[in-house]
Amino acid sequence: MSTAVARPARRRHPLVVLRGVLVTVAGVVGIICVIWWVIAATTGLSLIVVTTGSMSPTVPAGSVVVSERVPAASVRAGQVVTVPRPGASLPVTHRVVTVERVTGDTVARQFTLRGDANGTNDRDQYIVREAGLVIAAAPVLGSVLQAASTPAARGLAVAVVGLLVVWTFWPARRAPSDER
């Protein structure tokens, strides 16, 4: 009669476990980025970081909003939109107070906007043919995205991913074989 001897389960080294976790996290982040890129490219959605508190408490500073490009004619009072700011490089994200037709242009509309935290309407009128209709907002995430977009953060991310790739494919030490 032969007797089978059960071997104790081998414990994985903590660095091997850490490597697996880091590779998994990097993969998940990469997959999320690719999925967002495909969604944005096919649907016209975009992410906009809100840098001021003019829309607080609805959309506090440091939030990110998801906006969808829509014809200006489809926008209604009460909706939150992102439109180009005349004479400025950054757009404005505010609530629509009024929508008016533009004489001689069946597509364009003139918006009067106001931030939820502001006591008065915006000084400028916004004449647009398209607007970014805000469909979702996530507090704090905008600050995270801004921090991740700095040159230092991008350089660090490239270095970390590079080291992780090298570490993943580095030959493992072989354990002494069990000889009988």
Question: In the chain, what are the domain boundaries?
Answer: 46-140
Structure tokens at 100: 């008016």
Structure tokens at 11: 């414990």
The answer to whether residues 99 and 110 touch, using CB atoms and an 8 Å cutoff, is yes
* pLDDT score recorded for residue 72: 96
User: What sign does the CA torsion over 104, 96, 137, 73 have?
Assistant: negative
Helices (H), 14-79: 14-43
CA atoms of 1 and 15, how far apart (whole Å)? 42
Q: Is the pLDDT of residue 19 over 70?
A: yes
* pLDDT tens-place string over residues 111-142: 999 999 999 999 999 999 999 999 999 999 88
Q: Is the pLDDT of residue 58 over 70?
A: yes
* pLDDT tens-place string over residues 39-50: 999 998 999 999
Q: Is the pLDDT of residue 8 over 80?
A: no
CB atoms within 10 A of CB 96: 21
CA-closest candidate to residue 72, choices 98, 42, 34, 35: 98
In the predicted model, what is the mean pLDDT of residues 72-89? 93
In the predicted model, what is the mean pLDDT of residues 157-176? 80
Q: Between 154 and 10, name the one with better pLDDT.
A: 154
* pLDDT score recorded for residue 97: 97
Q: Is the pLDDT of residue 76 over 60?
A: yes
Structure tokens at 154: 């991008």
Q: Is the pLDDT of residue 175 over 70?
A: no
- DSSP 8-state symbol, 148: H
Q: Between 170 and 155, name the one with better pLDDT.
A: 155
Q: Using 50, 70 and 90 to split pLDDT, how confident is the model at 174?
A: low
* pLDDT score recorded for residue 161: 85
46-140 CATH: 2.10.109.10
